[in-house]
Amino acid sequence: MPATAADTLVWRMPPMDMSMPMMPGLEDAVPPALPALPDQQAMGIPVARPSEVVSLADGDTLHLEATLIRRQLGGRPFVMYGYNQQYPGPLISVTRAATVVVVFKNELEEPTTVHWHGLRLDNRFDGVAGLTQAPVAQGESFTYEVFFPDTGIYWYHPHMREDMQQDLGLYGNMLVHSEREGYYSTVNLEEVLVLDDLLIDSHGLIPWGQTSPTHALMGRFGNVMLTNGVTDYSLAAAPGTVARFYLTNVANARTFNITFGGAPIKVVASDVSKFEREVFVESVPVAPAERYVVEVHFEHPGEYAITNAVQAINHFRGEFYPHVDTLGMISVAGAPAAPDYGEDFRVPRTNTDVIADVDSVRGFFDRPPDKELSLTVRVTNLPVPIMMAMEADTLYVPPMEWNDAMPMMNWLSTGSQVTWIMRDAATGKENMDIRWDFALGDIVKVRIFNDPKSFHPMNHPIHVHGQRFLVLEMDGRRNTNLVWKDTAVLPVGSTMDLLIEMSNPGDWMAHCHIAEHLSAGMMLGFTVHRAPPSKGSSGD
């Protein structure tokens, strides 16, 4: 990485809950990697501005540039990364079935790419360095043709060192509108909410690892919450407003559990489609890279806090404790909203178009798995106190890590010590040694087991590139309300059956979307062939 030369930068221990004593033997320990950070004293860095909507028609061109930017968070200045000097990057607004050209230029000192998360686009433009394209070096450009086959909310981000580049601000949304009237219910307002966190102490950004990510065990949890890139997000609405929120979790590792101040929530859609049936929920858990579209009814005047409410864990004390982050405020005041969509809101819709779409693959639901994966981890050369603590502390591992319950141990672990593993049950192959072959049009059931018997099991949001899938079952329980996804979270000890529609030819990747887990190896490759793969061509 770029940034401040490592010889002038030193590690600082991340902020910790001081009710937990420092682990003996780790007082002076630092990650076995050089620290890296954008030069916080750099001159001439442009001041970033909030995200702007860019409406594009089929065939239009967008120029997108990754640069250093200057931002204010909580009144403090930071030098970070940005697309087109915005935070988040420009909100690309298009109509379904459009193709736009994005001329991307990299003005950062380190190589990068742009991945168009969730889009079933031409493989050449998927943005995976080393698989579909070469990294874009400083000063160089790459032209993407971005096709939008599905209505919904999507996002773009680098596919190189996501742990650092994405965390520093390289992300933006794509809102794909349906060409059909009434695709969603009519609402009073629509808002895109990008959820993130950032790890900061009193001196500024905690450095990242230069050649290998820190926080390789659990991923880098931030201690400052960002909604649409700011710490004080607010929204005004009239009483009676029905609002549609497009939620995207762009955090490295944190799963959010979102509420809207007690206002009723109806979940409408997720990554790549609407649900078969809308349902009312009390909160919205959103794992990294997942998206949910929800409608919320603010019936009465008042202040509604957008919160992330979790049961955090204090491993030293062996206890759960409630933790709430306020992510923003919605002020509901003034004259009543008009028209009043309250009655419509109270009636959840059945989406016959989605049911009909799913019908095309329903005949595959009961077939045995075509592929089986287990998820685990291998560690080497971690400090002895960490090994001792983990041995004493793994009688119970929470299904989901909602907070960084072991910040020191987590920080000290790097990608050089931790290998996160996807293992193919049939061949024993691991990670990118797995190269599955499928034919275009195959409907493939993949069973994934998150093995709890490892050094440090953890939840994994699994992302499949270039295709869409259904989560058919979790722990043997059939999912009765399906939605097309590209990312789904698998808790510790659980098993998930995915039914993947191989609808898009090319060389693709599937991986954990915790940025540090991805950097620590947790990815596999698969090819969707236009013609059936010849016998013996399979990598497994």
- Does 402 interact with other proteins (rule: CB under 8 A)? yes
**Alpha-carbon distance values, 449 to 296, 371, 372, 426 (Å):** 34, 11, 8, 14
* 284: helix, strand or coil: strand
Please report whether residue 475 would count as binding other proteins according to CB under 8 A: yes
284 lies in the binding site for other proteins (CB under 8 A): yes
Rg (CA), the chain: 22
Tell whether residue 367 is a contact of other proteins (CB under 8 A).
no
- CB closer to other proteins out of 183 and 316: 316
Rounded Cα gap, residues 45 and 293, in angstroms = 35
Find, among 120, 117, 125, 124, the residue nearest to 96 by Cα.
120
Distance separating alpha carbons of residues 64 and 141, to the nearest angstrom: 10
Contact 35, 71 (CB under 8 A): no
The reply to whether 202 sits near other proteins by the rule CB under 8 A is no
Could you tell me the smallest distance in angstroms from the CB atom of residue 393 to other proteins? 7
Neighbours of 402 (CB within 10 A): 22
Residue 53 burial (10 A CB sphere; 0-12, 13-18, 19+)? exposed
Q: Name the residue among 178, 209, 283, 217 with its Cα closest to residue 32.
A: 209
* Phi, psi values for residue 412, rounded to 5°: -75, -15
Nearer residue to other proteins within complex by CB, 172 or 461: 461
Asked if residue 264 binds other proteins (CB under 8 A), the reply is no
Minimum Å gap between C-beta 28 and other proteins is 15
Q: Mark 286-325 with x for binding to other proteins (rule: CB under 8 A) and - for no binding.
A: ------x----------------xxx-x-xxxxxx-xx--
Q: Can residue 488 be called a binding residue for other proteins (CB under 8 A)?
A: yes
Between 81 and 420, whose beta carbon lies closer to other proteins?
420
Parallel/antiparallel/unpaired status of strands 115-117 and 152-157: antiparallel
State which residue, 100 or 471, has the beta carbon closest to other proteins. Answer: 471
Decide if residue 492 touches other proteins (CB under 8 A).
yes
Nearest residue (CB) to other proteins, 158 versus 222: 222
Query: Which lies closer to other proteins via its Cβ, residue 216 or residue 490?
Result: 490
Residue 355 interacting with other proteins (CB under 8 A): no
Q: Which amino acid is at 73?
A: L
In whole angstroms, the minimum distance from the beta carbon of 26 to other proteins comes to 8
- Minimum Å distance from CB 457 to other proteins? 9
Interacting residues of 43 by C-beta distance below 8 A, sequence separation 6+: none
Q: Does 476 bind other proteins (CB under 8 A)?
A: yes
Q: Does residue 517 interact with other proteins by CB under 8 A?
A: no
- 86-125 mask for other proteins (x: CB under 8 A)? ----------------------------------------
**Least CB distance to other proteins at residue 411 (A):** 16
Q: Judged by CB, which is closer to other proteins: 199, or 489?
A: 489
Residue 534 Cα distances to 333, 369, 437, 439, 500, angstroms: 65, 21, 9, 10, 21
**Other C-beta atoms lying within 10 Å of the C-beta of residue 206:** 22
Stretch that binds other proteins, among 105-113, 171-179, 215-223, 397-405 (CB under 8 A): 397-405
- Which value, to the nearest 10 degrees, does the dihedral of the CA atoms of residues 177, 181, 182, 188 take? 70
Question: Minimum distance from CB of 194 to other proteins (Å)?
Answer: 19
Q: How far is the CB of 389 from other proteins (least distance, A)?
A: 5
Is residue 7 a contact point for other proteins (CB under 8 A)?
Answer: no
For 470, what's the count of Cα atoms within 13 Å in the CB-facing half-sphere? Answer: 26
The residue type found at 485 is K
Q: How far apart are CA 115 and CA 83, in angstroms?
A: 13
Q: Pick the binder of other proteins from 389, 443, 518, 520 (CB under 8 A).
A: 389
CB of 476 to other proteins, least distance (A): 3
- C-alpha distances in Å from residue 402, one per residue of 259, 420, 498: 15, 19, 24
279, 333, 338, 356: residue in contact with other proteins (rule CB under 8 A): 279
**Of 24 and 363, which CB lies nearer to other proteins in the complex structure?**
24
Strand order across the beta sheet in which 443-450 lies: 418-424, 371-379, 443-450, 495-501, 468-474, 477-478
Q: What angle do CA 344, 346, 348 make, to 5 degrees?
A: 85
Question: Which residues are at the interface with other proteins (CB under 8 A)?
Answer: 21, 23-25, 257, 259, 267, 270, 275, 279, 281-285, 292, 309-311, 313, 315-320, 322-323, 369, 372-374, 385, 388-389, 391-393, 395-396, 398-400, 402, 425, 447, 449, 452, 471, 473-481, 483, 488-497
